Amino acid sequence: MKKLVRPEGRSAFFLTTNGTGTPSMVRLIEAHYDEPEILARWRMVSEINQENLVAMRKYGETELDGTPLVYAVMEPTEMSLAELLQNRTLTVDEAKQLASSLIRALTALHAHGLVHEHVEPANILAAGETIKLRSDCVREANSPDDEAESNRRKAADAQNVAAVLLEAMTGRRTLQGSATLLPAPFDGIIRNGLSGKWGLSEMAAALGPVASPQPPAATPRPIATKEEPKKADIAAPTTGSSETVKAAATAAGPLFESAEKARIPAAPTASEPRAPAAAIPASRVVPPAQAPDVRHRIVKPVEKDPRKIQLVVVAGLVALLLIFVGWRMMRSSEAPSPAEKTHTTTSASQPAPAPRAATPAATAPAGAASAAEAPLSGRTQWHVVAYTYNHQDQAQQKAAELKQRHPSFNPEVFSPTGRAPYLVTVGGAMTRDQAIALRRKARAAGLPRDIYARNYSR
């Protein structure tokens, strides 16, 4: 591993090379009993030969310092669309290349029973002159018990494509009504895509054929007095320097060209020899990127009445005073009287009566209702896992926080082996069908999207 590119959740990305010096990107993920699922997805991705998906060269399992890991070796990429949008938006021709690449990549995934669910500028990368979508973060689209859920996931990918195109062309993530003006054919693609009326096939039909990007023709250069930066220096830019981002944008291809691509050679000094006129290339005019429409932001300033401001301030102070008085009155009414304290002390000193025989409870706890509907055997000990920790105290703290926000889910700490990792689960032990239904309900309630169900029977 030569360089840590970035961490991401329980995984990290590294730059490395093989024995022949070929650069590669490696992703390492800490395994939490989900190695078969991850490797199965990567196996399906490796069998898809589509140029707009980041190629997966190798994958497998390993161990580092006693920690089980899964790894994927992928082709190297350069800058991301998110880094480019920090400097400028895309032109119409660049947006057509972006839309065509994303539609082809997602169509290939959907045809193999996979969905992406993470189509966003940070996951859209450049490899030379080709736009590529990350392929190491896909999910299964086919649900064994709900075909409608599979169609919904595929439709969500199409909506994400429309959202990416809107941000790439305008710099905004919402349409803001009819004030946003979009050129054809993106007005129909973005509006119908965000509303869910159009899928990938309708978007592709409206986009039409898109010409592949052609590399710029080579032009003669003057005799340089300063060494040009090497390509390896800008292959993996960081976000800490704007100069580094611009340099990577120039080397990434037509879509990721910088708006300041034209360079004007500096005039030679009296001590430097003047280069021949034929050796000086003519500067090429690059059309500016399409600027976001800002006409909706032009509003007429309105002067505020100072008397209204004073009335609002006075009303706020009065409301705070009333709230404070009410709180004091509630505190005083809740305080027990001296007689009640004496009665409580006397009652506590008397011996407690003998406990009666325990009777079976009529109802089960609310959080375990779904798990109690059917008897559980050694093969039906399914759990829905929301969080994973290596320390038990951290897992218990997270379960307590989750119980305050979602008490009906009955969160608890579960360890399959009696040691790390410690899993924060919801709903307790249940059958497979109950676990799948509870996972869907938990996602809808705002729990993490990567919550999963697994059988931990022994």
* 239 pLDDT higher than 60: no
Distance, CA of 258 to CA of 250 (rounded, Å)? 6
pLDDT of residue 458: 54
Sign of CA dihedral 47, 48, 50, 52: negative
Q: Is 134 helix (H, G, I), strand (E, B) or coil?
A: coil
pLDDT at position 82: 93
Q: What is the pLDDT of residue 345?
A: 39
pLDDT at 261: 45
Tell me what pLDDT residue 66 has.
Answer: 82
Q: How far apart are CA 95 and CA 85, in angstroms?
A: 12
State mean pLDDT over 183-193: 93
Statement: residue 422 has pLDDT above 50: yes
Chain-centre distance for alpha carbon 245: 22
Task: Collect contacts of 1-7 with beta carbons under 8 A, ≥24 apart.
Answer: 1/26, 3/236, 5/236
pLDDT range class, residue 97, cuts 50, 70, 90: very high
Coil, strand or helix at 104: helix
Q: How far apart are CA 260 and CA 346, in angstroms?
A: 86
Per-residue confidence (pLDDT) for residue 146, from 0 to 100: 76
The helix/strand count (H/E) of the chain reads as 11, 13
Q: Which of 3-7, 154-158, 233-237, 295-299 has the highest mean pLDDT?
A: 154-158
Output the pLDDT for position 329. Answer: 80
pLDDT for res 100: 96
Give pLDDT, residue 53.
Answer: 95
What is the pLDDT confidence band of residue 141, given thresholds at 50, 70 and 90?
Answer: confident
Task: Check residues 133 and 373 and name the one with the higher pLDDT.
Answer: 133
Q: What is the mean pLDDT of residues 303-313?
A: 72
pLDDT at 256: 58
Q: What is the mean pLDDT of the chain?
A: 74
pLDDT of 175: 84
Contact 167, 99 (CB under 8 A): no
pLDDT level of residue 221 (50, 70, 90 thresholds): very low
> Averaged over 398-415, what is the pLDDT?
89
pLDDT at 214: 59
Which of 72-86, 109-123, 259-273, 417-431 has the lowest average pLDDT? 259-273
- Read off the tokens for 217: 């023709």
